[in-house]
Structure 1
Amino acid sequence: MHQRLLEHLNTAVVVLDAQLRVVWMNPAAETLLAVSLVRVKGHTPEHLTGMDAEPIKVLRKALDEQHPYTQREAEIVNVASEVLTVDFTATPISRDELLVEIEPRDRLMQISREEALIARQEAVKVLTRGLAHEVKNPLGGIRGAAQLLERDLPEPQMVEFTRIIIEEVDRLRDLVDRMLGPNRPPLQVPVNIHAVTERVRSLLLAEGDSITMVADYDPSLPEVIGDEGQLIQAVLNITRNATQALNEQPQGEDQTEGEAPHYEITLRTRARRQFTLGHERHRLVCELAIIDNGPGIPETLRETLFYPMVSGRAEGSGLGLSIAQGILHQHQGLIECDSRPGHTEFRLLIPLDGTSGDHT
């Protein structure tokens, strides 16, 4: 009876013997660890999950002292080589048996990061709109004054100076408009996400870069509801950032002279089921990943990556990622980023259950 109850739990449960060898595990544990009980029965946790010494000490301590212990945010590696962050509690059943409950934390931690990212995006939007209002009003006055001054100048050659004032005011106004992002709500029409990615691929291939563009699509994805033009802009901003960053990399020491490093960008689409974005859980979400094999994003930039005017390139305006995040936010979606040397991945997440729209 007790075993049947444990088998129906969503929490992963593993039973170990006095030598910390696997005696039994429920289906939730098999799913989490990507193994079957038949294959791992008799194995120790080090062999099964790649646990380091500290969690093993906790298991041994719980069994020796006959007292429950909990380890928070321990890292384990399942048989599929996925690194998982878990909480686990070791509870002794007897001198010879230890029950281990394992609770995955990765998704909860990811949801917390997403909520923080959404909150930051809202704060940036409010700040940008307030700044735009305060800047554009005096800019209009400066431009008007320069035009009036131009009419009354006694010497024609001095018109050049008023022209400079007007052109610089226009440049600043355009910059403020770009910081604000799209100035209209997104359209709400069916959009084939692969039409978006193929348009971006064709635009970048036409620029003649030596970077390989790889398409890895899930053809079963349904259409998203949104604005094709804005989605193209968001994907293009991120992908062009990647191509520019890769093209600016110096030649490696291990490469022969004249030989360019092999860089590639992959556009990958997948469906994510029962996925939470912010506070809302969606039945189906489209994940569009833009992956490059470059050196990665500097640690100092990762927390402020989507803020306006933040850029890792000397010539960058720092607006591309901010605008892309704003577009996804209007589609009730989100952009996530993970980066390490050799692998940088931007994931555009867009609901597929018809609930997208501007809820800001």
Structure 2
Amino acid sequence: MSTNRTNLAQTTAGVPDEILAQCVTAMGQLDAGLHFIWLNPALAEWLGAGMLPWLGSSLAAIEPGTSGIVAAAQRALDEQQVVLLRQVALRSAADRDLIADIAFTPLSGQGLLIELHPATGGAERGSPALSESLRGFAHEVKNPLAGVRGAAQLLGRRVDSAELRELADLIISESDRLTALADRLLRAGGKPRLARLNVHEVLERVALLVAAEANAPTVRRDYDPSLPPAVGDGDRLQQLLLNLARNAVEAGASTLTLRTRVAFGVRLNERLRRLVLRVDVIDDGRGIPPGIAASLYQPLVSGRPNGTGLGLALAREIAHEHGGELRHGCRAGATTFSLLLPLDPSP
């Protein structure tokens, strides 16, 4: 136990154990088998029943159902990197669910430091709150976007090729769209601008952007031409679908299929919908790593070592804004992400 406590002190920059015990942040230590071997009074108060009953208990004891807590901890242990979960349900000794933000930090020897923080407010459960860091990123990205837009304008005036001018116009329009997206992120909670739209036009824009990237996959269309108009924010839905398509590119897909269908009698967000638009993004890339399947849509959870883990979290948030859902499925050689949007009014 003393060796483990030394590791914990090293992880927290040499802070004495007595200070850690008095810290108001709820924290504890897990061994390599994900069992509690130490926790401070703040964490014991969070979980209830005092410290002793939790010592030796598995982390699985605080995970109700499949909220992804154990999978995230194992990933932090395997990859030796910090993993954060937002707005996660956990089980207390009183057999009731709590909502918290959880951080797992690998220790210098073995095991993990676990920290619990009150869940950030302002978002419903299952729709992670937009963090201050993300709003800060949105603020910082606006100036470079203005520079990119200006450079593209100059380039468009100086080239003779129609194809190059078209690419310059694409850069300009995408810069404008990302600037508008950054503005909405800074407003944190601005509602989508709903209008009737043709989802195939949105998908064609996504296909054009994917084709312009390096190592672009072959894009196949499987559209239902009889689809009625959908209602949504075109920019936000494009961002959602572009995130899915770029994930496929980064997963090494050689073929990307964009498919649209109408589904009947689908339950979305606990409501039965008579008509539902389903947009499938199908790729033949590496698929979803098994270790993150349970926490796939959590912010900062990524299957790539250099991934930010924000793309799917934002995609799901946009789907929820439209009264829809984002679902996924895997089979041999194919990973499918499906956007489901209601086409009929709410009953």
Give the TM-score range, shorter chain: 0.3 to 0.5
What is the TM-score when the length of structure 2 is the normalising length?
Answer: 0.48
TM normalised by structure 1 equals: 0.46
Determine which structure has more spread, i.e. the larger CA radius of gyration: 1
